[in-house]
């Protein structure tokens, strides 16, 4: 099949059919994607004739996934979980490599093959974990942050392992000078990125964010470009994409970038799992299955226990330790690449590759259930987990930000509501997607979020289910109706004040559940009409009224001039 479009279409059709079956039997879709890869790959129907194309698309998915994760990180989070993440990665690799080596030797593998199998068992799958945590919307939970941290450390070590194997395969060796050169390259790349961020992105941020389409294009270009740059200099594209996101994490527009890229990411990440399944070739499965089951127990049980032990000794709660442990219970795609490279260079035989492939299939499949149902599993095992928690834990209880008052849209009269919010002395936030307004809010130390309220994930990020008053100064009827319907479903007790242009729109909003609808034109006409009835046509009274109005406008003149000057 030479037509790439037709080939990709057939693969997607098979993925739809398999995923539909998975939905019917209520199984995780990620398993369906890998099964699709097995079906369309050489193991079964051999439908993929252009594997390079599928691989490139899957790399797009990897880069976008890691970039979006990076956008949710910042130096504060890295400082918060860096130490425990490093400790988990170190002890996990040391423990699993050692035990994996001993088990592999007992199963009859040569020392080098046994060592590489042990190393392969020690790495967890970044893509699988991030995909599952993203689907559960738990990437920002403490255990999610710690998981991301130890995965990043493992990816760095896995990259070094691949470099060593590649050098060995070509007949060379890695010296201390080579490692020093790699560190120098990494430091130079990171420093250059930070400089570009400070000099270019900071100064051009308003221009970039002014157009939603350009913001979307800029984000894709930045993510893929930085990932490709790191890959070119010998690092993994995963590390490059993650760092690309971290560098932009503190931008006011990072949430909007993340929201707009998620749909694109989801499509390409499906192709990654299909590609992963298509590359899994298993030989001698009957003889290797008992050995794979033994090694799978090490990964599925040994790794979580090791993680819980390290975290328990470090003062974390048993629940956080348990859920973090569940994320480390599978073999990484890096491990398969490592063994395949070693096989091509003659360091290990095909049996070692096939064995690790079977272990990868078993552990990825079972760990998917372990992560998805980690809450249920924790409830079941809680009574047995006391040994993994110290008497005095140092972990802080996680609390998502909750805002009693939310103002959506600031430019069109929002400042009046903000004055009221301040007087109520309750926690509030302003949501807007105008970069000029965001700059003003930031300069005035007003808590804000940049984004579009038509994005459901933004509403969840705002934790709007617990807000008591939501005010929208936006006059777009569809947006306000969508918000009213969302609140009616998720927070029916909240007071929702909307804005409309016409009486007909106001009626629709009232019917949708709005507590009150502001009609700016009607309010202005009503106020001047009331004044005319009270004072008649007395120009002197108009002069006094005019002066009061001018004084009021003058109070807000600085704000309007700030915003308007940024627009010109």
Q: Count other C-beta atoms under 10 Å from residue 506's C-beta.
A: 20
Q: How far apart are CA 330 and CA 269, in angstroms?
A: 18
Domain boundaries, the chain: 50-388, 405-567
What's the CATH fold of domain 405-567?
Rossmann fold (3.40.50)
Q: What DSSP assignment string belongs to 259-316?
A: HHHHHHHHHHHHHHHHHHHHT----SHHHHHHHHHHHHHIIIIIHHHHHHHHHHHTT-
Residue with tokens 């007992």: 106
Look at residue 563 in the predicted model and tell me its pLDDT: 45
Q: Same CATH fold, 405-567 and 50-388?
A: no
Q: Which strand ranges, in their side-by-side order, compose the sheet holding 495-499? A: 448-450, 428-432, 405-408, 469-472, 495-499, 516-518
Q: Are 458 and 260 in contact (CB under 8 A)?
A: no
Q: Shortest CA distance to 324 belongs to which of 511, 512, 151?
A: 151
The token pair at 156 is 């760095």
Q: Are 31 and 22 in contact (CB under 8 A)?
A: yes
The token pair at 467 is 């807000």
Look at residue 566 in the predicted model and tell me its pLDDT: 44
Q: How far is CA 433 from CA 206, 260, 409, 453, 460, in A?
A: 11, 13, 8, 9, 17
User: What are the per-10-residue average pLDDT scores of the chain (568 residues)?
Assistant: 79 92 83 86 82 85 85 70 89 95 93 93 88 81 87 82 67 66 86 88 77 86 92 83 85 79 84 80 75 94 94 89 92 82 80 87 90 91 86 59 85 75 86 76 79 71 84 87 89 89 86 86 64 68 69 54 45
Domain 50-388 has what CATH class? mainly alpha
Among left, alpha and beta (phi > 0; psi -120 to 50; other), residue 284 is left
Q: How far apart are CA 293 and CA 366, in angstroms?
A: 12
Q: Shortest CA distance to 502 belongs to which of 487, 517, 512, 516?
A: 517
């Amino acid at each position: 099949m030479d037509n790439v479009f037709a080939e990709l279409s057939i693969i997607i059709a098979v993925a739809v059919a398999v995923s539909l079956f998975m939905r019917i039997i209520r199984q995780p879709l990620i398993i369906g994607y890998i099964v699709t890869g097995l079906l369309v790959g050489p193991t079964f129907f051999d439908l993929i004739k252009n594997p390079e194309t599928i691989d490139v698309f899957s790399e797009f998915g990897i880069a976008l996934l890691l970039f979006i994760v990076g956008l949710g990180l910042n130096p504060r989070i890295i400082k918060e979980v860096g130490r425990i993440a490093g400790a988990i990665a170190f002890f996990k690799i040391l423990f699993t490599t050692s035990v994996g080596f001993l088990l592999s030797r007992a199963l009859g593998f040569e020392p080098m093959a046994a060592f590489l199998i042990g190393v392969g068992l020690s790495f967890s799958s970044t893509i699988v974990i991030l995909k599952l945590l993203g689907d559960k919307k738990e990437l920002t939970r403490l255990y999610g942050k710690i998981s991301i941290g130890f995965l990043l450390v493992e990816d760095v070590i896995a990259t070094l392992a691949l470099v060593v194997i590649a050098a060995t395969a070509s007949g060379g060796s890695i010296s201390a000078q080579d490692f020093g050169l790699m560190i120098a390259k990494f430091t130079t790349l990171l420093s250059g990125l930070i400089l570009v961020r400070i000099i270019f992105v900071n100064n051009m941020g308003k221009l970039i964010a002014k157009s939603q389409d350009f913001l979307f294009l800029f984000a894709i270009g930045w993510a893929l470009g930085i990932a490709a740059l790191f890959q070119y200099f010998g690092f993994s594209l995963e590390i490059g994409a993650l760092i690309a996101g971290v560098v932009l994490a503190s931008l006011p527009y990072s949430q909007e970038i993340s929201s707009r890229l998620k749909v694109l990411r989801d499509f390409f990440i499906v192709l990654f799992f299909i590609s992963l399944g298509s590359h899994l070739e298993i030989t001698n499965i009957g003889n290797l299955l008992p050995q794979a089951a033994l090694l799978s127990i090490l990964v599925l049980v040994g790794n979580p226990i090791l993680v819980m032990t390290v975290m328990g000794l470090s003062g974390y709660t048993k629940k956080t330790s348990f859920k973090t442990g569940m994320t480390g219970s599978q073999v990484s795609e890096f491990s398969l690449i490592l063994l395949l490279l070693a096989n091509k260079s003659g360091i290990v035989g095909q049996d070692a590759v096939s064995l690790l492939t079977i272990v990868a299939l078993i552990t990825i499949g079972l760990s998917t259930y372990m992560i998805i149902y980690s809450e249920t599993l924790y409830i079941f095992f809680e009574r047995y987990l006391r040994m993994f928690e110290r008497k005095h834990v140092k972990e802080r209880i996680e609390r998502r930000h909750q805002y009693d008052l939310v103002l959506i849209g600031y430019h069109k009269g929002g400042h009046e509501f903000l004055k009221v919010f301040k007087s109520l002395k309750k926690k509030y936030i302003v949501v807007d997607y105008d970069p000029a307004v965001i700059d003003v809010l930031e300069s005035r130390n007003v808590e804000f979020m940049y984004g579009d309220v038509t994005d459901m994930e933004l509403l969840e990020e705002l934790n709007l289910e617990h807000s008591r008053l939501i005010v929208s100064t936006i006059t777009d009827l569809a947006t306000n109706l969508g918000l009213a319907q969302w609140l009616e479903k998720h927070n029916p007790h909240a007071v929702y004040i909307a804005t409309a242009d016409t009486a007909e729109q106001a009626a629709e909003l009232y019917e949708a559940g709005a507590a009150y609808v502001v009609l700016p034109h009607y309010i202005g006409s009503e106020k001047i009409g009331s004044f005319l009835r009270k004072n008649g046509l007395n120009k002197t009274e108009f002069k006094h009224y005019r002066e009061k109005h001018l004084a009021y406008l003058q109070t807000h003149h600085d704000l309007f001039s700030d915003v308007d000057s940024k627009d010109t």
